[in-house]
Amino acid sequence: MSDKIKRQRRTKIVATIGPASSTPEVLETLFTAGVDVFRLNFSHGEHADHAERIRMIRELEARTGRPIAILADVQGPKLRVGRFAEGRVTLIAGQPFRLDLDETPGDSHRVRLPHPEIIAAAEPGSHLLLDDGKLRLRITSKGDTHLDTEVVTGGPLSDRKGVNVPDVVLPIPALTDKDRRDMAFALEHGVEYIGLSFVQRVEDVREAREIAAGRAWIMTKVEKPQALEDLEQIITLSDAVMVARGDLGVELPPEEVPLVQKRIVRLARQLGRPVVVATQMLESMISAPAPTRAEASDVATAVFDGADAVMLSAETAAGQYPVEAVEIMNRIVARVERDSGWQNQMRASRPAPEADTADAIAAATAQVATTVGARAIVAYTLSGKTALRIARERPECPVLGLSGTLSAARRMAVVWGVHAMGVAGHNAAETMGDVVRQAARSAREETFAEAGELIVVAAGVPFGKAGTTNTLRVATVE
């Protein structure tokens, strides 16, 4: 196996695909540079575009022999004001401004708000944020068809700019009709993760899970302050979590966002859910060949916090330097993980195992691997959950995740420290001896261990049944 495809780091990299990265050549270069998961943003592009990108990723996977995960990120509801008679107005702080259901083009005194649910749910004293938070309005009174507001922060406002309502839980489902069509398309094309936007309640996640029906894992994007009120239940019901700092930063004060990020990462780790930190990580590299020092520090902070993955958005989708962005992110992550302070942090922040056999085995596996100086832990897993449980311990040696299905191996591509493989004969194992021999062979072939070195194998008996991790074995590679 090529050393280029055996990552020299544990934290994974997610990269968004777009106009700047939608050729086989660029995709392969990005993968070689360090991308583990490719994100498709369904806010942009047609189904035909996404189908072609999926085809190219699967061909790349076949050429390289490495499982690659695809994250289909659905758009969610987009709340926007209507149009203006002259296309643009300027709102002045202190002036009154009305939002209503009238379809007449707006002016400096009013504009259409084509979302009666906002008018119904909002209350005097609540705030509305327009154009990604650049303008702020405070609601002074309301009627059945309008909201009267006072401009708190003014500025230019043009057609179809976005509306955020940070103070109110809106009676709007996370999935629109477009999202349902996009989900159906993505599931039909076999993606590994569905990125779920606009989550406010546990019910939003439950609905997406029912649609996915196990065909893909649900990655809940925490981007609404309302989700923070029920965060533990939302994460528990999710398969993975994304800290979507862009939208979260619009609706929360800037000083709150770093604390919320740490809270989400910490809770996701405790609950054993992969967690991705996203948005504006290397934003300046959309147009510059190198990041700012603050951006490099931002990436490093996410790694120190123990995030499973860090994500690039516009940097790789539409930026001028997509490959360079991945390369520098790879370098930052790898450098942090060589630091003794990071290693101490991972040891100190291990969550207590749950009171069940699978968690006890996972914790013991990490401890035994350290004690005996094992070169690798081999997680023999049907669904990927065994590898996920072991990764939660942040072990000091690599985790080789062996699954009998390629789909499960792909899902592990976002999980911290896991080098995933789909292996022939996985489901035919009948004894622990079969499992150990296959684990040792895979560890040797993937260059994680040489003859005479130790590995630790975790598996479940009976074999081929998900959720039965109950066996640990120390073995010598022959």
Catalytic residues: 39, 80, 221, 279
Q: How far is CA 154 from the centre of its chain?
A: 34
C-alpha span between 164 and 149 (Å, rounded): 14
Q: What residues contact 311, with CB distance under 8 A and at least 6 apart?
A: 13, 14, 15, 16, 39, 242, 276, 277, 278, 279, 281
Instruction: Determine if the peptide bond prior to 291 is cis (ω within 30°).
Output: no
The CA distances from residue 382 to 193, 400, 461, in Å, are: 17, 13, 11
Burial-class residue 107 by CB neighbours within 10 Å (0-12, 13-18, 19+): exposed
C-alpha span between 278 and 111 (Å, rounded): 33
Q: What residues contact 400, with CB distance under 8 A and at least 6 apart?
A: 376, 377, 378, 379, 418, 419, 421, 439, 442, 443, 446, 448
C-alpha span between 246 and 224 (Å, rounded): 10
End-to-end CA distance of the chain: 19
Written as one string, the DSSP assignment of 266-335 is: HHHHHHT--EEEESSTTGGGGTSSS--HHHHHHHHHHHHHT-SEEEESHHHHT-S-HHHHHHHHHHHHHH
C-alpha span between 68 and 421 (Å, rounded): 10
- The two beta strands, 96-100 and 88-91, are unpaired
Q: What is the CA radius of gyration of the chain?
A: 24
251-254 long-range contacts (CB < 8 A, ≥24 apart) are 251/129, 251/133, 251/164, 251/166, 251/224, 251/225, 252/166, 252/225
Which residue type sits at 445? E
Three-state DSSP class for residue 387: helix
C-alpha span between 269 and 175 (Å, rounded): 26
C-alpha span between 12 and 192 (Å, rounded): 15
C-alpha span between 336 and 305 (Å, rounded): 11
